[in-house]
Amino acid sequence: MYKVADIFTVPEELIKRNYDDSNPLPNYRSEFMRDRDRIMYATAFRRLAGKTQIYTVGTDDHKKNRLTHTLEVAQIARTIATALGLNPDLSEAIALAHDFGHTPFGHAGEEMLHNIMIPHSSVIKGSPFYQKKESEIKKRFKRENPDETDYLDHAFGFKHNLQSVRVAALLEDSYRGQNGENIGLNLTNFTLYGMMIHSSLKYDWSDQPPNFQNFFKEQMVLRNSDVLAWSFEAYIVSLADDIAQWHHDLEDALREGVLPIEKICSTVSKSLNEALSEADKQSLATVQEATSMDRRHIAQLSHIVVNTLVNDLVENSRKNFAALDNELKSKKICTSKEFFSSFDDLKLSLKKEDIIVFSDKINKTLFKETIKASIHHSRNVERMNEKGKYIIRKLFEAYRAHPQQLPDGPILHLLVDTGAVKYQNVDDAKKDGIGEARVAFDKILDNPPVYFECMLMRRICDHIASMTDHYAIEEYNNLYG
C-alpha cells in the first residue's frame, strides 16, 4: 500500500487537549480514536439525524439528512486517508463532528442566525446589535465592563463550522474539569482545528466575519506553540465533504426531476472530463439513454462520481507529496515536529492547502453551476428555506423578548458564564434549585449590562442552532400556535 513519508503524519508530541486527561489509553487505542468515540456518543451527533441537509427532515424518507451526509463524509475521508497512508482515525474524528454546529433548516437557518448576530443587524428589534455599529457596541462594553473585554470574543456572527468547535469545546456537557467546570468533549487540538477549517471562516456575501471562534483558539494550537494544529487530514475532510455533496446533490436532482436525465449525465461527463475511465464513460452513455430513472441508475451514477473524484484526488495528491518530500530533503527538514511547527516559515513552492487537491481534469464549477444550482433553486427547496428562516427569526424574537421562555440549561449556563451570581459551575447552580436561579436571572434582566445582553444573545443562538427541524417547528407552534 502507498504510504506518504512519515514526516507528513501528525507527530504525537504536538497533540494536546485543553484539559489533561487522567485516564490512560490502552495500547490499542490512539488519541484520535478517543476523539472519534467521544464524538459518536455526543448528543450533538445524535441530533444530526433530525437536521436538514437540503430538504427538511421528514419530507421524504429517502432524502439525505445531516447524519447520513456526515457518515458519507467520514467513509470517504477514511478511504482517502488510508490510500495516502495518513491517519484514518483523525480523518474520521474530524468528519464525524464537522457539522455539529449546523442549524435546523440547513444553510438557510445558518445565514439567518448570522444576520441576527452581527452589528448593524436589522432582524431582532431591541437586541444589542440592532442597527448598532460595532464601534458603538465596543464603546458600551468599555464603559460598562472595562475589565471583561474577552466577552467580545463570544459576540459577533454565526457560522456552522465555528459553531461545531463551540459545541465540542463548550456546549456538550459530558465531562468536567478539576473544579467542576464544563469542558465540553475535551477533544484534541488537531480534531478541533480540522472541524473549524472544513468550510471557509466567513461568508462570501457578508462584510462582517464571525469572531466567536477566537475564544477557543488556545485549544487549537500545537502543544507548546502558538501555531494552529493544521493537518493534511483536515484538508481531506474538507474535500470529502465536497465529494459527498456532489453525490447527494446528484441523487436529489434525479429524485426531484429538476433536470432531465440527459442533462445530468452530460454535466457529469463534462465535469469529470478526462478523469473518467473508459468503462465509466460507457456506463454514463447507457444511463443517458434511459427513458426513466430508477434506483439502479442512481446508484450507478453515484458510484461513477464518488469513485472518479476519490481516485483523482488520491493520484494527484500523491504527486504533490512526492514533490514536497524532495523539496523538504533539499532543505534538510527531517522530522514531522519540525515540519508541522514551521511550515509557514519554510517558503515551500506549495501551500499546505494546495497539496491535497483535485487535478485540472475536474471541473467543479460546471457541476455546481448546473446540478447544485438547480437543486438549491427548486421550488421545494426555496419554500423550505424561507419557512426555515421565518421560524428561526420568530423563535429568536420570542426568546429575546421574554428570555424566561428559554429552557433551564441555557439560563444556568448564562449565569455561570457571566459570573452574574455566586455559582461556580452548572452543577453548583442546580443545587439551589432552578426556581432560585430563574429569580436571579429575572433580576438581572431588569437592567442588564451590555456583556450580559450579548451573552444572552449567544446562548439563544446556541439553543436555536442545536434544534432539530422537528423540534424547531414544534417550539414555534408552542410559542405562536
List pLDDT tens digits, range 96-119: 999 999 999 988 999 999 999 999
**323: pLDDT confidence band, cut at 50, 70 and 90?**
very high
- For residues 403, 405, 410, 414, the Cα torsion angle rounded to the nearest 10 degrees is 30
Task: Report phi then psi at 473, rounded to 5.
Answer: -65, -45
Angle at Cα 43 formed by Cα 40 and Cα 45, nearest 5°?
Answer: 45
**290: pLDDT confidence band, cut at 50, 70 and 90?**
confident
Task: Report phi then psi at 137, rounded to 5.
Answer: -65, -45
State the chain's maximal CA–CA distance in angstroms: 72
| List of domains in the chain | 1-239+377-481 (1.10.3210)
Q: Which among 178, 150, 182 is positioned nearest to 166, based on CA atoms?
A: 182
Residue 473 C-alpha cell reads as: 417547528
The predicted structure's pLDDT at residue 62: 55
What is the Cα–Cα distance from 458 to 280, expressed in whole angstroms? 49
List pLDDT tens digits, range 214-223: 778 889 999 9
Percent of the chain with pLDDT over 90: 60
The predicted structure's pLDDT at residue 428: 81
Query: Is 0.75 topped by the overall pTM?
Result: yes
